[in-house]
Structure 1
């Protein structure tokens, strides 16, 4: 009721609209994907979580550029709907759906096996799939569900496809992280669901920090291979990432977001920039902000010793015993 009263107050409402207009102007990225004429004909790209939100618009952009695009989705029904929409919108029939649940290591392995059997090349891998506010759960792999979904599953997928990416070089890996990684902490017991506090986006923030740390270390290991790996912040975007939160939280998020947050199409820009722009060719091991600018990540994400340890622990956790 208080929120509705404020919205009905004329002075507050006018100020909100004016502020929203300013924010909309400021939130635009310095790079416009529609003005970029880079073609992806003859290239193959995989986008995880491509059935909705940012992932769908990333895949849409790649398809417009003529790429062979593989939508890596968990839901066959929603993935098929996105597949149809992208094909019809772009006129590119070389868009395909492959099912994967990134929270399951077995599913990730099955997906990667199929890709390696079917695809002769892979030039772009976008690790976009993720979720916030997942309830406490331990997967059958013994991993905390948020860490499995947002970090360890994508980590395994990337490593399983590395040889194909190397053989297809120059190629690029883009991992969608978040500015919230700066609020994250590193505690390796978190991977098993220990010592975690489930409050709002706290666990999500931890997973996004590991995204940046391991992407930086991956880039170091890939030096000289022609494969670039970077992490990006898409901005605060109106997507379904909060679908696991309460109705009240989602209502407030969507209400405020209508005025101040990016649309999914706007949120896709920084990932597309890292994946296709000539400006980012050869750049690796970096973190990009939502306006496509290079910025420093959190201090923990710049600790090389921590990065090596984190990467090695993730390798052990995702290895097939």
Structure 2
């Protein structure tokens, strides 16, 4: 198990090899924070690690490779974080993706839902003991500003025609349901959880033809050079991660340093609990035969 100097914070950032995740990781490393980078591709992760070390001089960086669509990989990731880091004061659930057509994860779950909602749900719940033991600690969920509602009766898109934007929007709405319900469950624990919309920024989310690629093409026609960089978008996330005035603030949805309205469905405590229960069922480990 790696040890950190007394008083040094430890952070874990998912989707850390490029874009917003890399910008967040670089800024945290520049502050002297010990950072764990979660990536899907080892080669790209190693390159990001080298870039961040060169940019910040911080050698206390740790690479974790895991496909967040695969629940067995998430469980192995959580175990590795426990063993290698030993403490955790900040978890940034940043990784997100979109798919042009319906595809299933290794666990038989629609991939946008698997990565964007169930991935952070499972990883966070598996790391809660570490976060509580390291309190005060913060969880920051990176959301999106899409006003929609979850179809609880068809989360896996088995009855409806699949839509990339609707699939992405529904899965990311899960981040808000999760944030609000988790905040309720964490009251008094010393661990806070908030969700942030980082704004529209230059990203490779879903590839050139993915959800954000399509949006960026539209914004590029309207704004051109005005599309923010990941570094600028990272400032919103870093505010939630670091601001002293947010030490005891939990269960909020933020834009640029202030709270913003959340879609109506996510403000319903019963809906939040319902998605939590569904998520628990979808991430339960299969029973071992004969047990």
Asked which structure has the greater CA Rg, the reply is 1
Quote the residue 2:119 is aligned against: 153
Counterpart among 236, 259, 267 of residue 294 in structure 1: 259
Alignment of 1:40-59 (within 5 A): 42-59=8-25
Counterpart among 52, 69, 72 of residue 103 in structure 1: 69
Alignment of 1:191-270 (within 5 A): 191-243=155-207, 245=209, 249=214, 252-253=217-218, 255-256=220-221, 258-270=224-236
C-alpha deviations, 1:171-198, integer Å up to 9, x for none? 0000001011x1x221124433323443
In 2, Cα distance between the equivalents of 1:48 and 1:313? 23
In 1, Cα distance between the equivalents of 2:188 and 2:127? 17
Contact 1:41 1:65 (8 Å CA) reproduced: no
In 2, Cα distance between the equivalents of 1:156 and 1:134? 24
Contact 1:174 1:231 (8 Å CA) reproduced: yes
TM superposition shift of 1:134? 4.3
TM superposition shift of 1:263? 0.9
Provide closer, same or farther for how the CA distance between residues 41 and 262 of structure 1 changes in structure 2, counting only shifts above 3 A: farther
Counterpart among 282, 293, 312 of residue 277 in structure 2: 312
In 2, Cα distance between the equivalents of 1:41 and 1:89? 23
TM superposition shift of 1:200? 4.5
In 2, Cα distance between the equivalents of 1:67 and 1:136? 39
Q: Answer yes or no: is 1:88 the counterpart of 2:54.
A: yes
Secondary structure of 2:149's partner? coil
In 2, Cα distance between the equivalents of 1:237 and 1:155? 25
Alignment of 1:20-39 (within 5 A): none
Secondary structure of 1:240's partner? coil
Contact 2:53 2:59 (8 Å CA) reproduced: yes
In 2, Cα distance between the equivalents of 1:202 and 1:250? 13
Contact 1:134 1:145 (8 Å CA) reproduced: no
In 2, Cα distance between the equivalents of 1:136 and 1:189? 17
TM superposition shift of 1:136? 1.1
Contact 1:104 1:139 (8 Å CA) reproduced: yes
Q: Answer yes or no: is 1:123 the counterpart of 2:89.
A: yes
In 1, Cα distance between the equivalents of 2:171 and 2:250? 21
Provide closer, same or farther for how the CA distance between residues 139 and 244 of structure 1 changes in structure 2, counting only shifts above 3 A: farther
Provide closer, same or farther for how the CA distance between residues 196 and 231 of structure 1 changes in structure 2, counting only shifts above 3 A: farther
Provide closer, same or farther for how the CA distance between residues 283 and 139 of structure 1 changes in structure 2, counting only shifts above 3 A: same
C-alpha deviations, 1:106-129, integer Å up to 9, x for none? 110010011112222100000000
Provide closer, same or farther for how the CA distance between residues 253 and 52 of structure 1 changes in structure 2, counting only shifts above 3 A: farther
Secondary structure of 1:131's partner? coil
Runs of 4+ in 1 over 6 A off after TM superposition: none
Instruction: Report the TM-score when normalising by structure 1.
Output: 0.82
In 2, Cα distance between the equivalents of 1:91 and 1:196? 50
The size of the alignment, in residue pairs, is 279
Quote the residue 1:112 is aligned against: 78
Provide closer, same or farther for how the CA distance between residues 167 and 134 of structure 1 changes in structure 2, counting only shifts above 3 A: farther
In 2, Cα distance between the equivalents of 1:295 and 1:111? 32
RMSD: 2.0
